[in-house]
Amino acid sequence: MRLKDSLVFQSERSFFMNFKSYFIFIFFSLLSFSVFAKADLTKIRIALDWVPEPEFGGFYAASLSGAYKKQNLDVELVSGGAGAPVVQMVSAGKFDFGTVSASEVVIARARGADVVALFAVYQTSPNCIMTHAKRGFKNLEEVLHSDGIVAMSQGQAYASFLEKKYGFKKAKIVPFTGGISEFLHNERYSQQGFIFSEPILAKRQGADPKTFLVAESGYNPYTTVLVTRAETIRKNPDQVKRLITAVREGWQGYLKDPEQANKFMATKNKAMDLETFREGARAQAPLIETEETKKNGLGTMTEARWKTLAEQVKDLKLISEVLPAKAYFH
């Protein structure tokens, strides 16, 4: 090999060796960055007060779209069921965050529990009483004055409100234990539900349900409310802010296109098929996105609504004192 060729070869060899070293350096630098970035994610657990259904669509959508990770959060959603003591678990610090009804917040605060609302999914409560259309009821009062059976969760504030406003007269009130099996087999049976869930399931299984929103009776608390402890807000205000941002983004995405989250939730909740998830998402959208939220953002809450709710709960003798409205939400 001639000297000139040898020098060129050594130069090229040196270049490729340096390039290889540079490539290896970049590769391991990116790998290290990825590892440390993942380690920096803050682990958060959210206790849901029911199984995966459209009411939680935005929470799951935030996970699937990366909205949580964008806010440096690693969020685990833990599903619950009938009677899940979410308020108590959050207040006791067993969970960082949870979802409950606004009335539960008011009652818990009156009892000294450390729980504060952050984000209200439903601006209009989806709680309803589902009846059989052939019975011909025109309103909730007729349902509660009939000689049929009405299944409602005992101790729920809305049940106390309905009893105080209408009286149950002939209706036999029984505990609600979940599902629609009894409704499908008993025409005299009415039950509680969420307007985007049980009525759709019943219709898809051959029943002809008619629903009455409890909100139409004058009791309309925020529902599916994200809560945490006041202590958490004081100690980690930035973390709380980032979670709210991610949850709002998740709900924006779910309202725009719920398909991905619906498919994921359907794998976790075999009692509801994918088409029911789709119908539920459509049915609940007007209860979530309102003129108020279009102006102030999804999840928005007002002092006036909390004040009204607290006064109603006090009137039901479920609490003895109404706190300043800002004590209930952040």
* Structural domains of the chain, ranges and CATH numbers in brackets: 42-124+221-327 (3.40.190.10), 127-217 (3.40.190.10)
Nearest residue to 293 via CA among 125, 59, 121: 121
Residues of the chain with pLDDT under 50: 1-38
Taking the C-alpha atoms of residue 75 and residue 56, their distance in angstroms, rounded to an integer, is: 14
- Tokens at residue 29, please? 């630098």
Note the pLDDT of residue 34.
41
Separation of alpha carbons 313 and 266, rounded Å:
35
At 173, is the secondary structure helix, strand, or coil? Answer: strand
3-class DSSP assignment, residue 328: coil
pLDDT of residue 41: 93
How many Cβ atoms are within 10 Å of 170's Cβ, its own excluded?
10
What is the per-residue pLDDT for 39? 52
**Tell me, what's the pLDDT at 84?**
86
Instruction: Specify the pTM.
Output: 0.84
Euclidean distance between CA atoms 224 and 222, whole angstroms: 7
Other Cβ atoms less than 10 A from the Cβ of 35: the count is 10
- Report the C-alpha gap between 325 and 304 in whole angstroms: 8
Q: What are 148-164's pLDDT values in tens digits?
A: 999 998 778 999 999 99
